[in-house]
Chains A and B, each alone.
Chain A
Amino acid sequence: ETGVTQTPRHLVMGMTNKKSLKCEQHLGHNAMYWYKQSAKKPLELMFVYSLEERVENNSVPSRFSPECPNSSHLFLHLHTLQPEDSALYLCASSQSTGTGANVLTFGAGSRLTVL
């Protein structure tokens, strides 16, 4: 596999469910990101991991819990979500330093619907 792979591509969950989104990158990058994309709103940066350390938590509610076990894998654990959390969740990766740090490669996204 190449690039940045996200699973599942589509997820429907109730407000009391617990689920996880998975992201895997095969680019040798050492920084990974979660972005939220809602209709007609800018991409919202949620979390940044650099060298497996969380370096950014952009005031995200605690019902979203990220995990980065190594530089190739990133998870977003979801629990007791609200309908307004329905959105496309995009994972991205980049180098953590140098000019490559500015070049994000995005996955195809996980479309989440909260009922």
Chain B
Amino acid sequence: QKEVEQNSGPLSVPEGAIASLNCTYSDRGSQSFFWYRQYSGKSPELIMSIYSNGDKEDGRFTAQLNKASQYVSLLIRDSQPSDSATYLCAVKRPGGYNKLIFGAGTRLAVHP
């Protein structure tokens, strides 16, 4: 079982719709969860972090965490073509130093 699993996509949504990206993780002791965005040919950049069960909103982005189900998601409201990228879910492994484990990413395509 992979430590962090994501559907590779592509997830295709029309402009203005809600894009829903999902991630599951295997280590029940994980405490910190992150979403990074990576445009083609660029390096990943952090867009959201979440540490507690429930929802966390930042502009058009909402991260949702359910530790009991070992599930974290990212919702993008009013999707724009500029949101087209690969979204990487990352989980901080408990203990140790700053060990972020990444999923393989979900490619999102927002079409006009």
**A interface residue numbers (CB < 8 A to B):** 31, 33, 35, 40-43, 45, 48, 50, 55-56, 90, 94, 96, 101-104, 106-109
Contact at B32–A102, with CB atoms within 8 Å? yes
Contact at B42–A108, with CB atoms within 8 Å? yes
Contact at B98–A31, with CB atoms within 8 Å? yes
Q: What are the residues of chain A within 8 A of B103 when measuring CB–CB?
A: 42
Query: What number of B residues sit within 8 Å (CB to CB) of A?
Result: 23
B46 is an interface residue with CB less than 8 A from chain A: yes
Least Cβ–Cβ distance between B107 and chain A, in angstroms: 10
Q: What are the residues of chain A within 8 A of B34 when measuring CB–CB?
A: 102
Contact at B43–A90, with CB atoms within 8 Å? yes
Bound CA–CA A48/B97 (angstroms): 8
B22 is an interface residue with CB less than 8 A from chain A: no
Contact at A43–B44, with CB atoms within 8 Å? yes
- State which residues 32-46 of B face A: CB under 8 Å: 32, 34, 42-46
Contact at B98–A107, with CB atoms within 8 Å? no
Contact at A42–B43, with CB atoms within 8 Å? no
Contact at A31–B43, with CB atoms within 8 Å? no
Contact at A108–B97, with CB atoms within 8 Å? no
Bound CA–CA A69/B45 (angstroms): 26
Question: Could you name 5 residue pairs across A and B whose Cβ atoms are closer than 8 Å?
Answer: A42-B2, A42-B102, A48-B98, A102-B34, A104-B46
Q: What are the residues of chain A within 8 A of B45 when measuring CB–CB?
A: 106
Query: Are A107 and B99 CB-contacts (below 8 A) given A42-B4, A42-B105?
Result: no
Bound CA–CA A96/B34 (angstroms): 17
Contact with A along B77-112 (1 / 0, CB 8 A): 000000000001000100011111111110000000
Bound CA–CA A43/B102 (angstroms): 6
Which of B45, B92, B96, B98 is most buried by chain A, counting CB atoms within 10 A of its CB? B98
